[in-house]
Amino acid sequence: MKTVAEILQQQEFAVQDLILLLNAADSSKHLLFERSSQLKENVLGKKVYFRGLVEFSNVCSKDCYYCGIRKSNTNVVRYNASDEEILEACRFAWQNRFGSVVLQSGEISSKAFVKRVEGLLKKIKQLSNNELGITLSCGEQSRDTFLRWFESGAHRYLLRIEASNRQLYYKIHPDSDNHSFEKRLEALQHLKETGYQVGTGVMIGLPFQTLKDLANDLLFFKQIDIDMCGMGPYIEHEHTPLYQHRHLLQSRKERFDLALKMIAALRLLMPDINIAAATALQAIDPAGREKALTVGANVIMPNLTPCDYRKEYLLYEDKPCLDEDAELCRNCLEARIELAGSEIGYNEWGDSKHFTSRISKLNISS
Ligand code: 5AD
Ligand code: FES
């Protein structure tokens, strides 16, 4: 059997190599982390980019088995932040030189919702002299909707595949037309064709998930040639169907460690993509996101959701920063990022380098 040190010398990684890295014992995982950290610095430098996260609505038409804001969870008070509240959060991001915002919501595809997002995008561009970059994370939409939002100013889109193994996907989603694995793959393809920088990701430590599944998730990211990735530990939520399988879960600490190894391994596989330090890491370890930055992540998403709504956007238990206001969140992040040996890319969009080279290759060949 190969050792971690031997695998780290390779340029290409087979599924077995990745499994071995994900299985690295405490005594050898530091080799993986040193390599991923070094690679990040060589390829991308020390900069970390901020994306101010605005969770503007928790109304959702989906029923994913893991998610606390799933449609059937009647314990949740549903909200829609007003345009003014959303724009205020974006103005805060702009004034504090965040560079970009992420607008995230439950999945709604009504005409009114599509139009509303379109209007918001235009207003965010206007209020920031076109300076704020905008990422959307509003679920699966039609090709036409993706295009309309792109033309209104969004240029990055996050849509996690959640699990790239079709069988596992249907263990964590209902087997219905509204939760089709094929449609999810198709949506990722449409996003790419529209011209977005495309981000996807998975949850780590799900019940029924194996290390082989996770290794294949990494190869899936490479195969569909993503520009960005956001992945974090799965955290159980009492009012969801997946909670009944909690006895199958690894400890939270183990899921956390596995998530760090996934980030490090992805950095080896795709050195020039943007990798976000997921908020779920912080739900397990208060310094979780900063630890992710030291092993390969280069994007962090401070929460700018108006405080009153945060307790209703609980995707999972122990979600952090429920009552910190935006200013506090920013101050504590800044100090911690400096501790983690990084610099903040103020006022920069921090686009995925991978996207830039992907597009220039496309232009050369056309
Ligand atoms: N634990 C961790 N992540 C979760 N998400 C949803 N529910 C959970 C959970 N219980 C993630 C999904 C989704 C993203 C917005 O939040 O991956 O894509
Ligand atoms: Fe699908 Fe929330 S209902 S991620």
Of 124, 113, 143, 136, which is closest to residue 84 (Cα–Cα)? 124
Q: What's the domain count of the chain? A: 1
Query: Counting beta carbons within 10 angstroms of the beta carbon of residue 171, is it exposed (0 to 12), middle (13 to 18) or buried (19 or more)?
Result: middle
pLDDT in the model for residue 322? 76
Residue 334 to residue 139: CA distance in whole angstroms: 30
What number is the average pLDDT over the span 158-175?
A: 98
Report how far ligand 1's centroid is from the alpha carbon of 166 (Å): 18
pLDDT at 353 over 70: yes
Specify the pLDDT at position 21. 98
Nearest to 33 by CA among 73, 4, 2, 65: 4
Average pLDDT value for residue range 247-254 = 98
Structure tokens belonging to residue 112: 């009114």
- Give the confidence band of 311 by pLDDT, cuts at 50, 70, 90: confident
Q: Can you give the pLDDT at residue 317?
A: 84
Q: How far apart, in whole angstroms, are the C-alpha atoms of residue 322 and residue 324?
A: 6
Q: Where are the alpha helices (DSSP H) in the chain?
A: 4-8, 15-22, 26-44, 83-95, 111-127, 143-151, 166-172, 181-194, 211-224, 252-269, 279-284, 288-295, 307-310, 326-339, 353-365
The distance of Cα 67 from the centroid of its chain, to the nearest Å, equals 15
Instruction: Provide residues with CB under 6 Å of ligand 2.
Output: 60, 62, 64, 67, 69-70
Contact 52, 329 (CB under 8 A): no
Q: Whole-angstrom Cα distance, residue 223 to residue 63?
A: 28
Least confident range from 21-35, 84-98, 215-229, 324-338: namely 324-338
Ligand 1 pocket check for 56: Cβ under 6 Å: no
Query: Looking at ligand 2, which atom is closest to the CA of residue 71?
Result: 3
Residue with token string 């970059």: 133
The per-residue pLDDT for 321 is 74
pLDDT for residue 330? 64
Residue 23's Cβ-side half-sphere holds a number of Cα atoms within 13 Å equal to 15
Mean pLDDT in residue range 290-314: 91
- Cα–Cα distance between 68 and 312 in angstroms, integer? 9
Length of the chain: 366
pLDDT confidence bin for 318, thresholds 50/70/90: confident
Given a cut of 70, whether residue 206 has pLDDT beyond it is yes
Asked whether residue 230 carries a pLDDT value surpassing 70, the answer given is: yes
Ligand 1 contacts CB of residue 160 (under 6 A): yes
Confidence class for position 60, pLDDT limits 50, 70, 90: very high
Stretch 36-61: mean pLDDT, rounded? Answer: 96
Residue with tokens 């122990």: 318
CB-based contact 265:218 (threshold 8 Å): yes
Q: Is 149 in contact with 143 (CB distance < 8 Å)? A: no
Kindly state the average pLDDT of the residues 112-116.
98
Q: Is the pLDDT of residue 67 over 70?
A: yes
Nearby residues of 38 by Cβ (< 8 Å), 6 or more positions away: none
Among 315, 316, 317, name the best residue to mutate to test ligand 1's pocket (greatest count of ligand atoms within 8 A of Cβ): 315
Higher-scoring residue by pLDDT: 124, 321: 124
Q: What is the CATH number of the domain that holds 138?
A: 3.20.20.70
Q: Please, which pLDDT band fits residue 205 given cuts at 50, 70 and 90?
A: very high
Share the mean pLDDT of the chain: 94
Mean pLDDT lowest among 135-144, 298-307, 325-334: 325-334
The pLDDT, as a whole number, for residue 362 is 75
User: What is the C-alpha separation between 300 and 250, in angstroms, rounded?
Assistant: 26
> What pLDDT does residue 65 have?
98
At 306 the pLDDT is 85
Domain containing 100 equals: 4-365
Looking at the chain, the whole-number percentage of residues with pLDDT higher than 70 is: 95
pLDDT at residue 216, as a whole number: 98
- Residue 251, pLDDT above cutoff 70: yes
**The two three-digit tokens of residue 127, written as one number:** 């209020």
Does the CA dihedral 331-333-337-340 come out positive or negative?
positive
Shortest-distance atom of ligand 2 to CA 106:
2
Whether the model clears a pTM of 0.85, i.e. scores above it, the answer is: yes
* Percentage of the chain modeled with pLDDT above 90: 82
Please tell me the number of the ligand nearest to residue 162's CA.
1
**Once rounded to an integer, what is the mean pLDDT over residues 305-310?**
87
**pLDDT score at 341:** 77
> 219 or 315, which is more confident?
219
Ligand 1 close to Cβ of residue 316 (< 6 A): yes
For residue 248, pLDDT beyond 70: yes
